[in-house]
Amino acid sequence: MTTEISHISVQYSKTIGRGEQFGPGFTYPINVARGKEGIMYVLCRGTEFRPEGVRVVVCTTDEEYISVFARGIDYQGPHAHNMDDGALVWPTSIALDSQENLFISDEWLNRISSFSKDGDFLGKWEERTGSGDGELDRPSGMAFDADDNLYIVDSGNHRVQKFNKDGKYLAQFGTYGSGDGQFDMPWGITIDEAGDIYIADWRNDRIQKFKPDGKFLMKFGNSGSGEGEFDRPTGVAVDQDGVIYVSDWLNNRLQIFDETGKFIDLKTGEAGLSKWGKAKLDANPEMYGERDRAQGLEREKDFWGPTGVTVDDEGNIFVPESARNRIQVYKSQSPTFAGPRL
Amino acid sequence: MSEQDISQIAHLMRRAGFGAPLEELQARAAKGYDATVDELLDPESQPPMERDMMMRYKVDWFSQAGLEGQQEEWTFRMINSKRPLQEKIALFWHCVLVTGHAKCEYPKQQAMELDMFRTVGMGSFHELLKGLSKDPAMVFYLDNCMSHKGAINENWGRELLELFSLGVGMDGDFNYSEDDVKEAARAFTGWTVTNSVPRYPYGKYDAKFMFDPRDHDAEEKTFLGETGNFNGEDIVDIIVKQPATARFVARHLYNFFVADDVQVPAWKDTPPQDIEAIKMLEEEYFRSNYNITAMLQVLFKSDFFKNSTFSKVKSPAETVIGTLKLVGDFKFPRPGLDLMTMNIRYMGQDLLNPPTVEGWHTGREWIDSGTLVERINFTADQVGNINHSGVKNIINRLSSVGPVLTAEQLVEGCLENLGAYQLADETRKQLLEMAESDGEIRTDSEGFPLQVGTMLQSIVATTEYLFA
């Protein structure tokens, strides 16, 4: 009898980020989008106390800082917000269209804002709070399909809506519940190469897969902390080989499944010192001493509340941990024999 | 159900919780006073907070890494918890067993301490003191991690006796000596915390309590008349069986839940204002093996409690939380809550960051010319906002009385909706005159909601409304 080895192998690659309100670093990074030529856009949720921390940080996958744009909202009272164009309150996800324009969902303003890849504000969809066709209640995850249509997880309405990138409503699927095709406060979304849609059905602790027209295809996962079980999955991503990655929020891990939803592996985190992190310590050498004395430093490796997962065409898997102000990067490797060294 | 029933339930909910809108008071009154007390004392019978939802929208409530976020989260809990007494008891112990953000290595440690107050704070005081002795936030706050064998730091030993258990004295006598402080400090040597992970680059991690036997003074000690090779747990064992500890817990419960007392430093020489009530609580302390829930059961069902309406000045937390519950705001996490928590601070109670280890002075000391203005402005702004769902409910209830209200119906209706408040005759007369000055009060008129809002504002600006 032969021992079956999975064709899927995922290994830790590196860690990006550090906690900062300005410049190189993140403030509660909640979602990541990959651009071209090694660019990545990191959406920082920030807090209402420090609106400057709410922003998009542009950097490379090699942790070269490029720029920052957008900001939070200064508000004048508990019911009075300054809703300037381009400002964000509760930004949740970021999606790139084919031109690499950025679309950002804001689940407080029920607004979709768009920016150029250089950070110029392009526009916003008119606010559309509600539950009717095309209306939004806490838009969470977003993903573009190959035709530049934008699928938005309309979490408060427990459904997914489809728009063109100008914001014209096209279609929807899903209702509240726990049956097939129903949702309970869904969060993350991804679209695979075939155009099929995967939803992190957050409070149902499962992943659901749909045809582009919303026809239910499959589901996997249920509540728990065992293999293949979830405690509030936040994000889902599918790589070129159809491998499915799920950020398992309150279980503090990344789970990996094959294209049928069969559990393959899980990662609990292996974070190391990031380039920006090392720069911070080099500039404050006394921190090295503090770290030498610290008890339980190995806890730094562990995931803590991963809020999403993004894959790119190079086999990189990005897992933002908002509470740790960093992104752990894993890499998909082929375990198949690659031939002898030449 | 009678007005008396509503009034009594309103009193109970103000003290054992943070007040409640009239519809909740009516529902609880229908169940009965004793049944409501029993439910409040059994928080596990009610659903917990939906923390997943809270952390999803308020990401900093996940990490609990900063003071502002924690104040917000606690405010949200106090407004929305289906276990109001659990939050109230956490507030009670926070006011007694004090740690402060100003001297806190990692704010999440205070959040963990609050969780201990929620889970252990209604159980055995014995267990609570043991937990507190090992609480990393406390060990750091009162320097026990700086107390070593042969070189004690007395801070924890002193405050444990003076402010956390025995109190300086009772009935004119001292409860402990300076030697007892030193001996207690010796017994707690070696009770320390681990070095924490520094803040950069990924944020701190909680420190852990640890016992270092090499740094523990295991020699003989004499403490409160007993001699032995005591460690910290032995000290707590001795403390909890002292009559002074029963007096301390009883008097604090009375001051927080029943009626304003003199401040703690005066307890040695100033007897309790109701010694019979204190003795009932002391007896229950020993009978129940130091159980706080048992003491509260006696307290809430006693005549001295039922007769204590409006004999306490509301704390800033009670003022803000009670008002927000009443007007129905912040039922769901949303931006702007930090401004509400700021109001608690402006009124003189910076939650999680008390001024000293003694906590806040209570009663009339909450009120000065500055905090009074903050208090009235805040409450008036809230109850005068006729867009709040809770205020709309009040308007609708008053409208349902009939097409025309008398001035008396408007005033009495507003008082009932605010929690069966009672006014001095002179205050009531002035409010009636104000209501009459508008002429006929038609509930179907465009101006009626504003009339109600104005009346509510006038009531919350009275001296009577400062009290609970």
**Which of A75-89, A182-196, A273-287, B340-354 comes out lowest in average pLDDT?**
A75-89
Partners of B337 on chain A (C-beta within 8 Å) are 78
**What pLDDT digit, counting tens, does each position of A182-229 carry?**
999 999 999 999 999 999 999 999 999 999 999 999 999 999 999 999
A303: helix, strand or coil = coil
Of B63, B207, B340, the CB nearest to A323: B63
B424 touches chain A (CB under 8 A): no
Of A77, A108, A325, the CB nearest to B202: A325
Q: What is the pLDDT of residue A77?
A: 62
Does the pLDDT value for residue A128 go beyond 90?
A: no
Mean pLDDT score, A87-111: 95
* Residue from B56, B57, B67, B192 whose CB has the most chain A CBs within 10 Å, to mutate: B56
Q: What is the mean pLDDT of chain A?
A: 94
Mean pLDDT score, B446-466: 97
Residue A336: exposed, middle, or buried by beta-carbon count in 10 A (0-12, 13-18, 19+)?
exposed
Mean pLDDT score, B19-30: 97
Of A47, A78, A202, the CB nearest to B69: A47
* Residue from A47, A185, A293 whose CB has the most chain B CBs within 10 Å, to mutate: A47
**What pLDDT digit, counting tens, does each position of A12-65 carry?**
999 999 999 989 999 999 999 999 999 999 999 999 888 889 999 999 999 999
Does the pLDDT value for residue A78 go beyond 70?
A: no
Interface touch A280/B335, C-beta < 8 Å:
no
Q: What is the pLDDT of residue B6?
A: 95
- CA–CA dist B247, B264 (Å, integer): 12
Confidence of residue A342 (pLDDT cuts 50, 70, 90): low
N residues, chain B:
468
B337 touches chain A (CB under 8 A): yes
List all residues of chain B from 171 to 210 with a beta carbon under 8 Å from chain A. 194-203, 205, 207-208
- CA–CA dist A255, A236 (Å, integer): 10
Q: What is the pLDDT of residue A76?
A: 58
Q: What is the pLDDT of residue A126?
A: 82
CA distance A2 to chain B (A): 44
- CA–CA dist A172, A133 (Å, integer): 8
**Among chain A residues, CA nearest to B64:** A323
Cβ neighbour number for residue B434 with a 10 Å cutoff:
16
Mean pLDDT score, A248-258: 98
- CA–CA dist A74, A88 (Å, integer): 10
Strand-pair partners of A160: A153, A173
R_g of chain B, CA atoms, integer Å: 24
Mean pLDDT score, B255-262: 97
Of B205, B335, B339, the CB nearest to A296: B205
Interface touch A296/B199, C-beta < 8 Å:
no
Which residue, B412, B402, B414, B408, is CA-closest to B442? B402
**Among chain A residues, CA nearest to B208:** A295
**What pLDDT digit, counting tens, does each position of B64-85 carry?**
999 999 999 999 999 999 999 9
Does the pLDDT value for residue B223 go beyond 90?
A: yes
Cβ-contact A190, A152 below 8 angstroms: no
As a three-state string, the secondary structure of B227-265 is EECCCHHHHHHHHHCCHHHHHHHHHHHHHHHHCCCCCHH
Q: What is the mean pLDDT of chain B?
A: 96
Name the pTM for this structure.
0.96
Interface touch A277/B52, C-beta < 8 Å:
no
Mean pLDDT score, B96-101: 97
Residues 6+ apart with CB under 8 A from A63: A16, A17, A24, A274, A275, A276
Interface touch A77/B335, C-beta < 8 Å:
no
Residues 6+ apart with CB under 8 A from B453: B383, B384, B385, B386, B391, B395
Q: What is the pLDDT of residue A79?
A: 63
Does the pLDDT value for residue A107 go beyond 70?
A: yes
Does the pLDDT value for residue A284 go beyond 90?
A: yes
Does the pLDDT value for residue B105 go beyond 90?
A: no
B331 touches chain A (CB under 8 A): no
Partners of A300 on chain B (C-beta within 8 Å) are 197, 202, 205
CA distance A280 to chain B (A): 7
- CA–CA dist B219, B353 (Å, integer): 37
Partners of B56 on chain A (C-beta within 8 Å) are 185, 187, 202, 232
Interface touch A81/B202, C-beta < 8 Å:
no
Of B65, B329, B335, the CB nearest to A48: B335
Q: What is the pLDDT of residue B319?
A: 98
Q: In this prediction, what percent of chain B has a pLDDT beyond 90?
A: 96
- CA–CA dist A253, A229 (Å, integer): 11
CA distance A226 to chain B (A): 19
Cβ neighbour number for residue A228 with a 10 Å cutoff:
17
Mean pLDDT score, B221-246: 98
Confidence of residue A127 (pLDDT cuts 50, 70, 90): confident
Q: What is the pLDDT of residue B2?
A: 82
Q: In this prediction, what percent of chain A has a pLDDT beyond 90?
A: 86
Of A49, A280, A294, the CB nearest to B195: A294
Q: What is the pLDDT of residue B25?
A: 97
Does the pLDDT value for residue B405 go beyond 80?
A: yes
**What pLDDT digit, counting tens, does each position of B309-334 carry?**
999 999 999 999 999 999 999 999 99
Of B52, B57, B199, the CB nearest to A232: B52
Q: What is the phi/psi pair of residue A105, to 5°?
A: -90, 145
Q: What is the pLDDT of residue A334?
A: 77
- CA–CA dist B224, B236 (Å, integer): 11
Cβ-contact A217, A173 below 8 angstroms: no
B69 touches chain A (CB under 8 A): yes
Of B68, B198, B208, the CB nearest to A49: B68
CA distance B408 to chain A (A): 33
* Element spanning A106, H or E: strand A102-106
Q: What is the pLDDT of residue A211?
A: 98
Cβ-contact B71, B344 below 8 angstroms: yes
Q: What is the pLDDT of residue A4?
A: 67
**What pLDDT digit, counting tens, does each position of B140-159 carry?**
999 999 999 999 999 999 99
Residue B334: exposed, middle, or buried by beta-carbon count in 10 A (0-12, 13-18, 19+)?
middle
**Among chain A residues, CA nearest to B55:** A305
ipTM of the complex: 0.94
Q: What is the pLDDT of residue A282?
A: 97
Cβ-contact A323, A247 below 8 angstroms: no
Confidence of residue A340 (pLDDT cuts 50, 70, 90): confident
Cβ-contact B77, B86 below 8 angstroms: no
**What pLDDT digit, counting tens, does each position of A312-338 carry?**
999 999 999 999 999 999 999 877 777
Interface touch B207/A295, C-beta < 8 Å:
yes
Q: What is the pLDDT of residue A81?
A: 61
